[in-house]
Structure 1
Amino acid sequence: MNKRIIYPTDDGVAVIVPADCGLTIEEIAAKDVPAGKPFEIVDVADVPSDRTFRNAWSWEAA
């Protein structure tokens, strides 16, 4: 899948890599993002591949 689900945490930004499990990405987000947290579905290219400074990543809900 070429999409990722991101949401803010106390330590930065969480990235969910959806598995091909028969659910839509929206269903996966509803199931796996903590209740009350905003999230966004983004393209893989929008998520930095270098994890060196991952705790410094930031994101604000649109």
Structure 2
Amino acid sequence: MSDTLIIYKTEDGGVAILTPVTSCGLTVEQIAAKDVPTGRPYKIVDRSELPTDFSEQDRWAVDEAHLTDGVGADYGVGSKNPFVMPEPSEDEAVEEEPATPEQEPVT
């Protein structure tokens, strides 16, 4: 489980928590931009900064003045903008063997 979380304020004033899965090839910042609703400010936090009892999460509050790490981009539900995976840097690029063509079926 990731120790890095993304928090933002929901429409009804609650606190939403996203657990980014960076094994997908995106950075936490890219995941936040993609998954936080359009225009909503967010903060990337360490799990240790949040209360440990999630049973009262519906009572949590967050001041938007503290949500300073970015704003959700226009990639969410209803968006007409496709999310494009960034090209890996040369350090991260992995050379792959070309795929072999499939054999023609014998009839």
Normalised by the length of structure 2, the TM-score is 0.54
> After the TM superposition, which residues 1-62 of structure 1 pair with which residues of structure 2 at under 5 Å, given as runs?
1-9=2-10, 10-19=12-21, 20-61=23-64, 62=66
Identity %: 47
How far apart are the structure 1 equivalents of 2:29 and 2:3?
14
How far apart are the structure 2 equivalents of 1:47 and 1:17?
13
Counterpart amino acid of 1:17? T
Spell out structure 1 runs of 4+ moving beyond 2 A. none
- Structure 1 runs not aligned, ≥5 long: none
How far apart are the structure 2 equivalents of 1:58 and 1:4?
16
SS of equivalent to 1:7: strand
How many residues get paired?
Answer: 62
Return the structure number with greater relative CO, CA threshold 8 A, min gap 6: 1
Q: Deviations over 1:42-61 (max 9, x none)?
A: 01101222112111101112
Counterpart amino acid of 1:4? L
State whether residues 13 and 61 of structure 2, in contact with CA within 8 Å, keep that contact through their aligned partners in structure 1: no
